[in-house]
Every structure is written in C-alpha cells, then in structure tokens.
Structure 1
Amino acid sequence: MPASPNPWFSLLRGTVPPTQRLYCFPYAGAGHTVYQHWRAQLPAEIELALIKLPGRGERFGEPQATSLDALVGTLAQAIAHAEQGPEHFAFFGHSMGALLAFETARALQKRGLVPNALLVSARTAPSVHGWRERLSDLPDAAFLEHIRSMNGLPQELCDNPEWLALFLPIIRADFALCENYSYRPDQPLTCPISVLAGRDDANVPLALLDAWAIETQAGCQTQLFAGGHFYLFERQAELLSLIQHQLGPQRRSGYAAM
C-alpha cells in the first residue's frame, strides 16, 4: 500500500488497479487514520484517499485551519491536481467531514470536476443553521461533557488530563471552524447525495436532514442506521456495504448517464 506524496491525503490501494477512489473526510478532532481499517473491508478496486488535515496526525506540528473557505479551497486544488488516476472518485465525510466534503465538491464543480457520489454522514443540511448554541464557546468542563455525550471518544481518554490538555483544543477549534461557517446558496451539485445518519443522534435532528435535497439536481436519498452520532463504528459493516453499493459498477454507469 504505497503512501501518497501529497500532504493532503494518504492513498491506500488494494491488490488490483483501482477503478474508484473514495476520499474520506474526518470528523472534528480526528486524523486520517480513523478510516484506514476500511481498506480491508472494501473491494480491492476501491482506492481510499484519506484526507490529512493540518494540526493532527502526521501534520500535528502545523497550525490548524481557521477558515473553512480557505481550507476547502486548498483541498479542492489538491484533489483537482491529483485526479488523473482512477476512472471515478467519490466523497465520504462524517460530521465536520460531511461539511468539508460538500463544500469541496462545490468548489470542484466550479473547476469542471465533480465526484460521482457525495455521501454525507451525521450532519444537518448546510443551509440549516442557528438551531443550537455555539458549543465551541462553552467552558472546558461543559465542552468535555458534550464530547462525552456523543460517545465518540474512549472513556480512558476523557479521563486522561494529559490527553485532554493536548487534544481538547484541537476538537474545540474544529467545532469553531464549523460554527463560523457561513452557508451561501450556489448551483446544485450534478452528482447524487446520500445522507446517512444514526436514528438516535441527538446532535443531528432527523427533520433537519431533508434540506440536503436542494443541494443536488441528481437525486438525494437518506439512509438511517441504528445508533447515535458515531453509528459508523457500531454499524460499520452495514455502512461499508452501502458505500460499496453506491460505488459499484452498476451505479457508476448510472451516474455517467445523468
């Protein structure tokens, strides 16, 4: 599995030449390695491109992004430069990653390059805002309590003062990045959108998913899974089966006809 020299993503290839590349955008506080175990669970012809954001993982020493627009612009440029390999590419993003994937797809569409599928997970529609308080402004104790309630971190990490001192600011900065985001209406995407969510996710009211449909002219469907905000860990097999179906040859030919 050769590593990509591109600082913005790491490529994980299977044992055969890829026909599809899936860019995976991480959630708040996460590094690119959160998705690396998917390689063994997906067909060999699907190549994973794991997005590496500054301020974490291999890029820990770099300053975090302070503007989502600037981050999206750089990501779009890196992906546009790289898209000379597999025949098709798609985006998957969870929570913050869904917002990044969506805006990156819009930026690429302006360049004449569009993913053949956009899968957005655990994120309300981007046009919906102001429905909850700013979590990034909470005091440390209250912010940590919210993070605990999402069940996205092992308890032993939440109880480790040294870990919290190092990583809680990273998570808080990611929350602020999303909360400072300002949605702007634009041309709908020409690729279909799949909206994925946990039925019991208190952070993503299901009624606020419907507005994703206005962001595409190629169809929008919603798939709910048992679980909360991090259903993707609890229902990984179901999620990867859906992703495989979305990226399969029968779907690619259908997208090409649109």
Structure 2
Amino acid sequence: MKKPKLFLLHFAGGNCFSFQFLLPYLNDFEVFPLELPGRGKRMREPLIRDFEQAAKDMYHQVMQVLALDAFSASKFLIYGHSMGARLAFKVAGMLEKAHKLPVHVIISGSSGPSLLQNDRKIRHLMNKPELKLELQSLGGLPQEILENEEVFDFFEPIIRSDFEVVERNQLGPFPPIQTPIYAVMGDEEDTAPLITNWEQYTTTDFSYEVLPGNHFFIHQHPRRMAEIIQSCYATTPVYKY
C-alpha cells in the first residue's frame, strides 16, 4: 500500500532542507519538501518577489508530483510554516479548482491571511541592522549566520525576497477552501490569541493548538507536529459545499 504524500512549504529564508528536523518522525508519509527558486537545489534560478508567482511555482511542483501518480489517486496533505502557511492556503485553493483536494491543510506560525494587512512592518525594506534585529527576534536563524558578514550577505537577498512575497499583493479577498485546516502557533507569538481567525477560511472542519515557544516553536516540538499531521491524515474530512 502506497504511503500518503505530504508536501512541505518552507518559511521565509528557508529551502527544501528546512524540515530536516521533522523527517525522522514522518515515516508514514512520502514526503516532498518544496522549494522556491534562488536557494538550495534551485540556487541558479532567479528569486521570486511576488506572492501570486510564488504560489503558482509551488502549485506546479505539487501538480508535477501528483501527475506521476495519477492512476493511484493517493491521498495527500499540505503543511506550511509562516510564509509557507499562507502559500499552503493559497495552493490548496488552486488545487481544489483543479479537482485535486488535499486531505488536510496544516499551517503553523500564522494567524491567517487577513491579519497580515494589520502588520505594519515592511521587513523587506529594512536596513541591514534593523533586518538582523528583526530576524533575531523571530528566532529560527542560527546566530552564526547573523554574526558572519559574508554568510549573511549571501543569505540577505533570499530573506528579503521572501519577506517581499509575504508583504506584497495580498489584499484579498481570501475565499475559504473546502479542505479542513489545522492551525498551530507558539504561545510567545503576539498573534497567537488570534489563531481561531483561520476558522473563517475553511468551509469544513477547523482545529487548532497553541504550543510553548516563539515563532519557530516547531523546532522544539517535532514529535507533536508529526502527531498532528498524522491525526489530520487519519481524520476523514467532511466537505460542506
């Protein structure tokens, strides 16, 4: 019996290796870590700075994988963190229009697309010292990268382009998807109390959980995140059209 597919969408500044910490706990899945151009295995490709273009890129990656397995019609899930959460929601809607419905969408590190409009920080235009302080406050980035000028100069264009993806062209509307959503956030995140905002973005089941930690709490809770993903697969969605 084939394993269900799990597509992983990375956070800003991430790549296809960003979920390595989670992989040992995902043996029940065939895992596909997706990656935007300009980093990792796609280093030679130009960076994307537009949200719609980034979503289309991720969508085509998913469709390519599903096309290779078209006759088995195996089930699949989508999980994204932070920028990846917003992209996961968008890609799920695109897949539904193509009649490819995920079993579940799992998002973490985000309280929903509409609330991004209330975030007045324009991170992709910050000067270098401000950007470093912002990245330090978010966590998730090794201190040695922030302190090594040569390494940071290599990383800086990637994180700026990803922040631009998040901060531009997301004015809505944000129509709900027909796929269940499971949202997870860290209790130290400012918008964690607003996590139930995600409920309005699905026409079917919604669940949520708040775990101890900051924006990158997922690194402290790989086993629990894997349990959540597994439970989302085990749950049969009830679609409300």
TM-score normalised by length of structure 2: 0.90
Deviation at 1:226, TM superposition (A): 0.6
Matched, 1:50 2:33: yes
Aligned to 1:213: 199
Aligned to 1:4: none
Query: 1:43 touches 1:244 (CA, 8 Å); kept in 2?
Result: no
Matched, 1:20 2:4: yes
Q: 1:40 aligns with which of 24, 35, 48?
A: 24
Deviation at 1:86, TM superposition (A): 5.8
Aligned to 1:71: 54
Q: Percent identity?
A: 26
Query: 2:186 touches 2:214 (CA, 8 Å); kept in 1?
Result: yes
Matched, 1:230 2:212: no
What amino acid does structure 2 have at the position aligned with 1:184?
Answer: G
Work out the CA distance in 2 between the residues paired with 1:208 and 1:126. Answer: 12
Change (3 A) 1:256 1:88: farther
Deviation at 1:66, TM superposition (A): 2.0
Query: 2:185 touches 2:215 (CA, 8 Å); kept in 1?
Result: yes
Deviation at 1:37, TM superposition (A): 4.3
Change (3 A) 1:139 1:86: same
Matched, 1:140 2:124: no
Query: 2:104 touches 2:232 (CA, 8 Å); kept in 1?
Result: yes
Deviation at 1:221, TM superposition (A): 1.4
Which segment drifts farther, 138-147 or 208-217?
A: 208-217
Q: Secondary structure at the match of 2:203?
A: coil
Work out the CA distance in 2 between the residues paired with 1:57 and 1:223. Answer: 31
Work out the CA distance in 2 between the residues paired with 1:174 and 1:106. Answer: 21
Query: 1:36 touches 1:50 (CA, 8 Å); kept in 2?
Result: no
What amino acid does structure 2 have at the position aligned with 1:227?
Answer: G
Aligned to 2:90: 103
What amino acid does structure 1 have at the position aligned with 2:105?
Answer: L
Aligned length: 235
Query: 2:113 touches 2:174 (CA, 8 Å); kept in 1?
Result: no
Aligned to 1:118: 105
Deviation at 1:138, TM superposition (A): 1.2
Change (3 A) 1:256 1:18: farther
Query: 2:114 touches 2:174 (CA, 8 Å); kept in 1?
Result: no
Aligned to 1:61: 44
Q: Once the two structures are superposed, what CA deviation does each residue of 1:135-182 show, in whole Å capped at 9, x if it has no partner?
A: 222111011111011121111121111101100121111011100032
Work out the CA distance in 2 between the residues paired with 1:156 and 1:67. Answer: 29
Matched, 1:92 2:76: no
What amino acid does structure 2 have at the position aligned with 1:49?
Answer: F
Work out the CA distance in 2 between the residues paired with 1:124 and 1:74. Answer: 23
Query: 2:184 touches 2:210 (CA, 8 Å); kept in 1?
Result: yes
What amino acid does structure 1 have at the position aligned with 2:237?
Answer: Y
Q: Once the two structures are superposed, what CA deviation does each residue of 1:122-141 show, in whole Å capped at 9, x if it has no partner?
A: 01210221233212221110
Q: Stretches of 4+ moved more than 6 A in 1?
A: none
Query: 1:20 touches 1:86 (CA, 8 Å); kept in 2?
Result: no
The alignment's C-alpha RMSD in Å is 1.8
Aligned to 1:131: 119
Q: Kindly indicate whether structure 1 or structure 2 has the higher relative contact order, using CA contacts under 8 Å at least 6 residues apart.
A: 2
